[in-house]
Amino acid sequence: MAYAKDGRAVQSKKTNASLDTVLHQRLERINKNDLLQEGRETEKVLPKSTIHKAKKLVKPFEMRVLPVVVLVGCLLLVIKVPNIYQAVDIILTDTRVVAFAEAQENSAAKPGKTKSVSNKKINKAAVEGDKKTEKPLDPVLFTRSEIELLQELSKRRKELDGRERAIVQREGLLMATESRLEVKINELELIKTDIETLITKYNAQEEEKFKGLVAIYEKMKPKDSARIFDELDIEILLEVFERMKSSKSASILAKMKPARAKEITSRIADSREMPELGLKK
């Protein structure tokens, strides 16, 4: 403690400094819980009106801290954003350069494949473009003549469709008739074969029968044979005469009646057929 000339006690600067140090050290030793406890005790001691005024004084200061923080953050963002854009632009540029180089290498290695792929892409783009350009027709935009023409075309189309259906039905009927005719033709062919077989068999039997008659009349005397032939049916007589030997038939014909002999001669001459020329049909 120092004293002035008038005897009053004067506190030196050293003393003030040492007191500040001691207070600072004491404040550092105090924990947060102690501060809270002291604050609660202070609130209990102080009047409510004083505490309320103190809160009003502190609240504007607290409210102003948030705008300041937001402002500082915005400034930092404005400063950093150009650098971020530059970095992203550099990365994208490098990526495009690498991709372009790889595409050039692939095109140099496989020109045919690249060409086909590019052609496919071009064709696909053209088709998509055509699809996009196509728009549904609006009936309101047609003129009356165009509408009448469309109606006439529609009517004509219906007529053609009807004719087509009729032709298809006729074709079906013709095919069914043709199939039935083929079945009938096959049946007739079978019947024809059976008839030809029967005729051949009948002719063979008739031939055997007439051969037997010829043998009988050839063994008889010409006079006796002539007497029988004068009364025999002309058709049977002709069949027998045609199969007899000429020497036997001549002797029998000489003994027959002149009228009967004349009739047999003319019938035999008429029954001779002309020989076939062998022409192809």
Query: Among 83, 108, 125, which residue terminates a domain?
Result: 83
> Among 59, 83, 107, where does a domain finish?
83
Contacts of 230 (CB under 8 A, 6+ apart): 256, 257, 260
The answer, as to whether pTM is greater than 0.85, is: no
Q: Do 249 and 194 belong together in one domain? A: no
Residue 119 domain-assigned (yes or no)? no
In 10 A of CB 229, how many CB atoms? Answer: 24
- Same domain for 234 and 186, yes or no, is no
Residue 2 identity (one-letter amino acid) = A
How many CA atoms does the CB half-sphere of 280 hold within 13 Å? Answer: 0
Are 241 and 267 members of one domain?
A: yes
Residue 67 lies in a domain: yes
Q: Are residues 23 and 76 in the same domain?
A: yes
- What residues of the chain score a pLDDT lower than 70? 1-141, 272-281
- Residue 21 counted as domain residue: yes
Domain that holds residue 46: 17-83
Look at residue 2 and tell me if it is in a domain. Answer: no
10 within domain boundaries: no
Q: Give yes or no: residues 234 and 201 share one domain.
A: no
* Token digits of residue 136: 């549904």
Residue 215 in any domain: the answer is no
In the prediction, which pLDDT does 165 show?
92
**Residues 198 and 249 placed together within one structural domain of the fold:** no
In SS3 terms, the chain reads as CEECCCCCEECCHHHHHHHHHHHHHHHHHCCHHHHHHHHHHHHHHCCHHHHHHHHHHHHHHHHHHHHHHHHHHHHHHHHHHHHHHHHHHHHHHHHHHHHHHHHHHHHHHCHHHHHHHHHHHHHHHHHHHHHHHCCCCCHHHCCHHHHHHHHHHHHHHHHHHHHHHHHHHHHHHHHHHHHHHHHHHHHHHHHHHHHHHHHHHHHHHHHHHHHHHHHHHHHCCHHHHHHHHHHCCHHHHHHHHHHCCHHHHHHHHHHCCHHHHHHHHHHHHHHCCCCCCCCCC
Indicate whether 240 belongs to any domain: yes
Please report whether residue 127 resides in a domain.
no
Distance (Å, rounded) from C-alpha 12 to C-alpha 1? 7
Last residue of a domain, one of 179, 206, 233: 206
List Cβ neighbours of 253 (8 Å cut-off, separation of 6 or more): 226, 261, 264, 265
* Number of structural domains found in the chain: 3
Alpha carbon separation from 233 to 203, 205, 255 (Å, rounded): 19, 20, 17
Indicate if 42 and 79 belong to the same structural domain: yes
Q: Report the sign of the C-alpha dihedral through residues 255, 258, 260, 262, in that order.
A: positive
